[in-house]
Structure 1
Amino acid sequence: MPILKHDAVPDGLVLETTEGRLQLTVCASRIVRIRYTVETSFSEQESLMIVPREANTSPYVIQDENDYVKLSTTELSIHIDKRTCALAYYDAGGKLLTREPNRGGKTLVPVDVVKSVFDEDALLETGQGADGLRVRAGNIKKVVDRQAYRTKLAFEWQDDEALYGLGSHEEGMFNLRGQHQYLYQQNMKAVVPVLVSTLGYGILVDSYSLMTFHDDAFGSYLSTDVDDEMDYYFIYGPELDGVVQGVRFLTGKAPMLPKWAFGYVQSKERYTSSQELIDTVREFRSRQLPIDCIVLDWKSWTGELWGQKTLDPERFPDPKKMMEELHQLDARLMVSIWPIMNPNSDNHREMAEHGGLLGNRANYDAFSEKARSLYWKQAYEGLFAHGIDAWWCDCTEPFEADWKGAVKPEPEERLRINTEEAKLYLDPAYINAYSLLHSRGIYEGQRAASDSKRVVNLTRSAYAGQHRYGTITWSGDIAANWETLRKQIPDGLNFCATGSPYWTLDIGAFFVQNKPDLWFWNGDYDAGVEDLGYRELYVRWFQYGAFLPMFRSHGTDTPREIWRFGEPGEPFYETLVFFLRLRYRLLPYIYSLAARVFREDYTLMRALPFDFRHDSGTFDIDDQFMFGSALMVCPITKPMYYDIGSTPIEGADKTRNVYLPAGSTWYDYWEHSVHQGGQTIAANAPLERIPLYVRSGSILPMGDDLQHVEDHSHEYLYIRVYAGQNGSFDYYEDENDNYSYETGSCAIMSMHWDEERRVLAIGDRQGSYPGMINQRKLIIMLFDSQVSQPPQSPTIKDVHYTGSFIEVSF
């Protein structure tokens, strides 16, 4: 489509072509929005994912060259081919980042948008599946509502780049080159339409319809199913942290979660009474096992009143007293709530009276501000007013239709079944946005009701921008086998690569047993915790889970409390306890990184190219990751001791290969031995530990053993310094669970290791907050072994820190 003319407009450029209009808008020096329409004007529809912002202040230049029009900022340059309108993206130095095919890469195909009409002839069918209450409508009339477009945006990606992102899916894809993926919300599919490249750029598509990604024999492109126009953002890093910062500049900051959310969360399907919840926490306390939250799963309501947001008075006779007892035990409670409601429930009747239901007369309409407000009112009156601490918004992709039968449908059939079901009740252009709006209602409702508790919302689906509503996404109802554990690692890394920082999973998997008549209930361990093979799998899952943003056990078929996996002194029990306590010792490090997530748009769970994108050896490593700036985690994803049925494995190799990225030396966390980067080693991996490495130049603050995050029985702070290169770390503290940090109520202690001078400098404490500890005893431990020499014990120095600058020399 040749360009007919181009005109400068505020913040950018509009090009008239023979086949429509193209607009480039400079959002910042590294971010440009691109829109393409064949209509006479661009859409004025409000974005659900992009936050309003002030007009761009970054300078830019428009130049008319012989063959192309060029828009340049100080960081980025985009060339638009005059013959085809194909875009090519360059950095400020003229290096090509990516481009569309020369023939042009933007296609809009008209489609009729069909919507459902629900009248008196519509038939409702209520049923119960493994995934909860379902109400489906039949005999629905359909009408053409409007015309829209199917969009296709093609690229010519370069041979030496890797691509990540698109959310968390069950297939275990990591580098998306040579792959294809379908983007629609479903149990075990959490969609975020963001791609990031190791060449230092990202693409954010502002669409809410079904999307597909291809880099295969069918082409290299992103497509959307139903849109008014093509609308996307090109974000230049050049580091992947910079791309994430750009995503959050557009979609909003991730607020601080309360500190307790980084402790241990105990869940299972399910605790059935207030007494069982309290007794379970008491057992943790009596065994001196740390815990910060226990979870009340589905069916907390009365009888079959599915989705009612009140507790059954027989099993939970005094919710306020229950919450007081749990809080006295220094534990919080997370409660499962659902967007679907039984027609016989009070919540349903009230929602129906206010016109807040979708066409199946069961799910509330999260797209309606009025319905969202009413839903929050019900959650407040039935739960939050009693002291409930956190939400588990289950089934936030409310229209799955294929969780039945013995045979799992083919991927394309699953896409058809599930998206057709969603389109019955939702506008086809918005079937991916339900969870985003549902989360918004919870967040805005709680923020208006109270500033004393930070919003925590565990959701099963996601979308771009949802992170700004205090959400953590988990990977859905997965099954207990080693293959699933292996696939979960890249699934989580791709989710976090999109700019959505908080992801977790069901430690031990949701389904443990096998039911041949249900394709998804396909765990390997019918004997549950009695099977030593499952105990080994659970321990390895737990070790991995100790380094996730949320550390949470959950599932059905078998108990999940730590004492179900053995007795004190036995290896499975003792290993679980060790990693549980290690998680709490790492909380000074983890919570400081959580502050970076908010303050600097940081990513806590990091695919290796986030830190080592210039080492192409990291591009396809899908079973190692950085947990913050210091720790490289290498989970174990194969059995070494027991097979299914408690069958011993003879002669198994108890090591795994670990790649140590180039550019650093690496300390074995357990043995303190040091290894040169840029090589693969065989790392020891007995049951009691997983390979864990610390990058040289790291400063790693740790604490004593705790029973919960606000346990103040020990006030020592252990500062581990790993020599080899300069390093810095900002140790962060605040009140742990309110929103005063937004107005500066926090304290930061900056630390810097000077490798040449062999000095750790600790700066003046910046800021303060109520209840702050003014003086601290610091135990500084310097790890300084030379590569290939035997491991050495650290040099230890005690320091008294009162908030003023000090230097510690070694």
Structure 2
Amino acid sequence: LGSWWSRYHPYTADEYRALLDRFRAAGVPFSVAVLDMDWHVTDVDPAIGSGWTGYTWDRALFPDPAAFLADVHARGQRVTLNVHPADGVGPHEEAYAAMCAALGLDPSTRDPIAFDVTDEAFLTAYLDVLHRGLEADGVDFWWIDWQQGAHSRVAGIDPLWMLNHFHFLDNARDGRRPLTFSRYAGPGSHRYPVGFSGDAVISWASLEFQPRFTAAAANIGYGWWSHDIGGHMFGAKDDELATRWVQLGTFSPVLRLHSSHNPFLTKEPWSYGPEHAAVQTDFLRLRHRLVPYLHTMNHRAARDGVPLVTPLYHRWSRHPEAYDVPGEFAFGSQLLVAPVTSPRDPASTTAGVRAWLPDGVWVDVLTGLAYDGGRELVLHRDLASIPVLAPAGAVVPLDAADVPGDDPVEPAALEVLVVVGADGAFTLVEDDGTGDGLDEARVARTPLTWDQAAGALTVGPVGGATGVPPALRTWTATFLSV
């Protein structure tokens, strides 16, 4: 639920470590380290494969994969590797002989083993032989980057849907919390993965499309959606565009910075001008401060089927105005976000975004600005902010650290944002990190209640798994727009 780092680039282990060191020195936290396809051998004889598919570490880049993965874990991050399974298993793979043994094939023929997701024997070996060893070395989950079409030997069976289904089940073994990350496999594929659409174009038009698309995905239950923050391909370097995309990413289901080989389009904050680097850093830190709120909303999604990001018309379906602002969305139970998706006006140095606010008083939690609702309006912001609005009575828990760590553990200190003006309540949900989150014996719930008449915020007592939160915790209350 924190930030993900991803770039299509042939890193060496030392280069990747140096990058993570620099992020830490700059106070930029990440929770997931992504390795695109260059982790494996890509220089392959065309007679046996394309190089896109691979299960063998490129030892020229990663001479000791297990040590590298252990180092990343020691930093508090999780690791996902990119796989394109369509080419099957070539004779150059380290696991080729073991795959032949599992399938009763003769390895001396050196014939490639075809990928066939409809063959139970192949699918079993695919998971047991090709992936288990890599997982034992420290791979936490897989980025299933299938780009080879929706057809298989059995009519109606989409290979990507099947890969998501079985990777998810396999990743859940031994009581672990399962996860896959995948290209979109059509309606119904929302059941398993964090999804993404494929390579995003770098343009303002592409950025403008992202929030309305992400919100509308909730209409078919696709809640955990990721897009290439900053765009992946084409376009040109644009500091303002990249900064606005990071701000949107902070209030997206998954914040995954991603870029291509292009040396001019990398997404490290320091690769932009000082003004933009500072704003991007602030928002990447904010994303990790939001994890307590995000984790609670994750439980809501698992238990109640309500995605983190939803269109306004899900909650205000009888208001025509809710349908006229497709780029504005609800972000969990407490917040509305109207991301900025157009360049600043050169004279005012602000950018405007059209929004609709339901009845009541709304306060921007980033600026403290208060607005009367029940109207449409244009909100203007400088580069440092976007409209993130909460109604009177909203209660939003944050990690109190200015720079949270990479590993999103239960914070020892929490800051609670309270929008005064009406009674409010929020239940902070934490768990032991195992299972599907539905076993109440593993879940701790801390009620946060704001009594407007008494002017009192009450925290606790903790219910359920009382051993999950720290035994001692510091609480700070920030009352917005008093």
Is TM > 0.5 for Structure 1 vs Structure 2? yes
Shift of 1:281: 0.8
TM-score between the two structures when normalised by the length of structure 1: 0.54
Shift of 1:711: 6.6
Provide closer, same or farther for how the CA distance between residues 385 and 321 of structure 1 changes in structure 2, counting only shifts above 3 A: same
AA aligned to 1:292 is S
> Alpha-carbon deviations, 1:31-86, whole Å to 9, x = none?
xxxxxxxxxxxxxxxxxxxxxxxxxxxxxxxxxxxxxxxxxxxxxxxxxxxxxxxx
Could you tell me whether the CA contact under 8 Å between 2:339 and 2:386 is conserved in 1? yes
Instruction: Give the stretch that moved more between structures: 314-323 or 721-730.
Output: 721-730
Could you tell me whether the CA contact under 8 Å between 1:472 and 1:504 is conserved in 2? yes
1:313-462 to 2 correspondence within 5 Å? 313-341=59-87, 343-346=90-93, 350=99, 354=103, 364-395=115-146, 397-399=147-149, 422=150, 425-430=152-157, 433-448=158-173, 450-452=174-176, 454-462=177-185
AA aligned to 1:445 is D
Equivalence for 1:751: 448
Q: C-alpha separation between the residues in 1 aligned to 2:396 and 2:374?
A: 23
Could you tell me whether the CA contact under 8 Å between 2:75 and 2:406 is conserved in 1? no
Shift of 1:749: 0.6
1:488 equivalent in alignment to 2:213? no
Match of 2:26 among 269, 283, 287: 287
Equivalence for 1:48: none
AA aligned to 1:429 is G
Equivalence for 2:321: 617
Q: C-alpha separation between the residues in 2 aligned to 1:553 and 1:771?
A: 31
Equivalence for 2:254: 550
Shift of 1:739: 2.2
Equivalence for 1:805: none
Shift of 1:378: 3.2
Equivalence for 1:562: 269
1:769-780 to 2 correspondence within 5 Å? 772-780=469-477
Equivalence for 1:178: none
AA aligned to 2:115 is Y
Larger strand proportion of the pair:
1
Q: C-alpha separation between the residues in 1 aligned to 2:455 and 2:259?
A: 49
Could you tell me whether the CA contact under 8 Å between 2:446 and 2:463 is conserved in 1? yes
Q: C-alpha separation between the residues in 1 aligned to 2:351 and 2:344?
A: 9
1:115-130 to 2 correspondence within 5 Å? none
> Alpha-carbon deviations, 1:365-394, whole Å to 9, x = none?
223433322221234344211011221110
Could you tell me whether the CA contact under 8 Å between 2:353 and 2:378 is conserved in 1? yes
Larger helix proportion of the pair:
2
Equivalence for 1:270: 9
Could you tell me whether the CA contact under 8 Å between 2:6 and 2:259 is conserved in 1? yes
Could you tell me whether the CA contact under 8 Å between 1:435 and 1:463 is conserved in 2? no
Could you tell me whether the CA contact under 8 Å between 2:171 and 2:179 is conserved in 1? no
Match of 1:510 among 229, 232, 246: 232
The percent of aligned pairs where both chains have the same amino acid is: 24
Shift of 1:712: 7.1
Could you tell me whether the CA contact under 8 Å between 2:102 and 2:125 is conserved in 1? no
Could you tell me whether the CA contact under 8 Å between 1:734 and 1:769 is conserved in 2? no
Shift of 1:536: 1.0
> Alpha-carbon deviations, 1:495-553, whole Å to 9, x = none?
12211220010011110xxxxxxxxxxx331xx3xxxxx11111011110011111111
Equivalence for 2:109: none
Could you tell me whether the CA contact under 8 Å between 1:351 and 1:374 is conserved in 2? no
SS of 1:429's partner is: coil
Match of 1:684 among 380, 393, 407: 380
Equivalence for 2:360: 664
Largest Rg, 1 or 2: 1
Provide closer, same or farther for how the CA distance between residues 726 and 609 of structure 1 changes in structure 2, counting only shifts above 3 A: farther
AA aligned to 1:439 is N
> Alpha-carbon deviations, 1:7-40, whole Å to 9, x = none?
xxxxxxxxxxxxxxxxxxxxxxxxxxxxxxxxxx
Provide closer, same or farther for how the CA distance between residues 731 and 713 of structure 1 changes in structure 2, counting only shifts above 3 A: closer
SS of 1:666's partner is: strand
Provide closer, same or farther for how the CA distance between residues 300 and 391 of structure 1 changes in structure 2, counting only shifts above 3 A: same
Q: C-alpha separation between the residues in 2 aligned to 1:330 and 1:665?
A: 40
Q: C-alpha separation between the residues in 2 aligned to 1:617 and 1:549?
A: 24
Could you tell me whether the CA contact under 8 Å between 1:728 and 1:750 is conserved in 2? yes
Could you tell me whether the CA contact under 8 Å between 2:257 and 2:267 is conserved in 1? yes
Could you tell me whether the CA contact under 8 Å between 2:144 and 2:180 is conserved in 1? yes
Provide closer, same or farther for how the CA distance between residues 725 and 307 of structure 1 changes in structure 2, counting only shifts above 3 A: same
Q: C-alpha separation between the residues in 1 aligned to 2:408 and 2:211?
A: 31
Highest relative contact order (Cα 8 Å, sep 6+), 1 or 2?
Answer: 2
SS of 1:505's partner is: strand
Provide closer, same or farther for how the CA distance between residues 287 and 461 of structure 1 changes in structure 2, counting only shifts above 3 A: same
Provide closer, same or farther for how the CA distance between residues 714 and 376 of structure 1 changes in structure 2, counting only shifts above 3 A: closer
SS of 2:442's partner is: coil
Equivalence for 1:310: 56
Number of aligned residue pairs: give it. Answer: 461
AA aligned to 1:706 is V
Could you tell me whether the CA contact under 8 Å between 2:449 and 2:459 is conserved in 1? yes
Give unmatched runs, 5+ long, in structure 2: 45-50, 106-111
1:527-676 to 2 correspondence within 5 Å? 528=237, 534-556=238-260, 557=262, 558-566=265-273, 570-640=274-344, 650-651=346-347, 654-676=350-372
Shift of 1:271: 4.0
Q: C-alpha separation between the residues in 2 aligned to 1:683 and 1:506?
A: 26
Shift of 1:447: 2.1
* RMSD (Å) for aligned C-alpha atoms: 2.6
1:474 equivalent in alignment to 2:206? no
SS of 2:363's partner is: strand
AA aligned to 1:310 is T
Could you tell me whether the CA contact under 8 Å between 2:118 and 2:153 is conserved in 1? no
Q: C-alpha separation between the residues in 2 aligned to 1:494 and 1:362?
A: 40
Could you tell me whether the CA contact under 8 Å between 1:351 and 1:364 is conserved in 2? no
Q: C-alpha separation between the residues in 2 aligned to 1:565 and 1:651?
A: 22
